[in-house]
Amino acid sequence: MKIEIDLDDVLRDEYGGAEESLNESIRRQIVSRLTEDYREKLFSKFDQELTTIMQQQIADVMKDRMPEFIDDILNATYTPVSSYGQRSEPTTFRDEIIKSIAANMKYEPKNYSSDENAFTKAVKSVVEAKTAAIKSELTKEIDAQYKKDALTHAVKLLSERLGLSK
């Protein structure tokens, strides 16, 4: 703890007069300092508690009123402005969201899959999955039939070469 004593302050009262004793001056300064420290701590604690209460109240209000706010935001009319300052027709966020979804619901394959929209990627993944399933089933059937035909042909050729009859 650091204690500083200003002799000019010690030898004069709070109004600048030299009428108080050394004991009164020291007492006044200590009381003043403690009062100021306590006031700072009190206001700091008050600010913290007020902030906590306000945040809780805001959270409660937002929980109750959030659906209304979202509806208001989605239905709010605004005028889009391009980066060149050109104004478009007034619209709402809801209309823009619907327009964006409709624009992205097109099958548009690109050279790079990173350039494709989500709908195109989804369609391609479904087609690839179904194609892989069909290929797997066909491969199993063809392999089984091929093995059967190959064995039948081999038995027939061996029987003819060996002169065996069935």
Is 32 domain-assigned? yes
Number of structural domains (the chain) is 2
Q: Is residue 94 part of a domain?
A: no
The predicted pLDDT at position 20 comes to 66
Instruction: Please check the confidence at residue 14 and state whether its pLDDT lies above 70.
Output: no
Give the range of the structural domain holding residue 123, as residue numbers without chain letter: 114-166
List helix spans (H) across the chain: 7-10, 22-75, 93-104, 118-162
Q: pTM value?
A: 0.41
5-29 mean pLDDT: 69
Question: Is residue 75 in a domain?
Answer: no
156-161: average pLDDT: 87
Give domain status of residue 151, yes or no.
Answer: yes
Instruction: Report if residue 89 sits inside a domain.
Output: no
Each residue of 108-158: pLDDT tens digit?
888 888 888 888 889 999 999 999 999 999 999 999 999 999 999 998 888
Residue 123: Cβ within 10 Å count: 13
pLDDT band at 12 (very low <50, low <70, confident <90, very high): low
Q: Would you say residue 152 lies in a domain?
A: yes
Q: Is residue 64 part of a domain?
A: yes
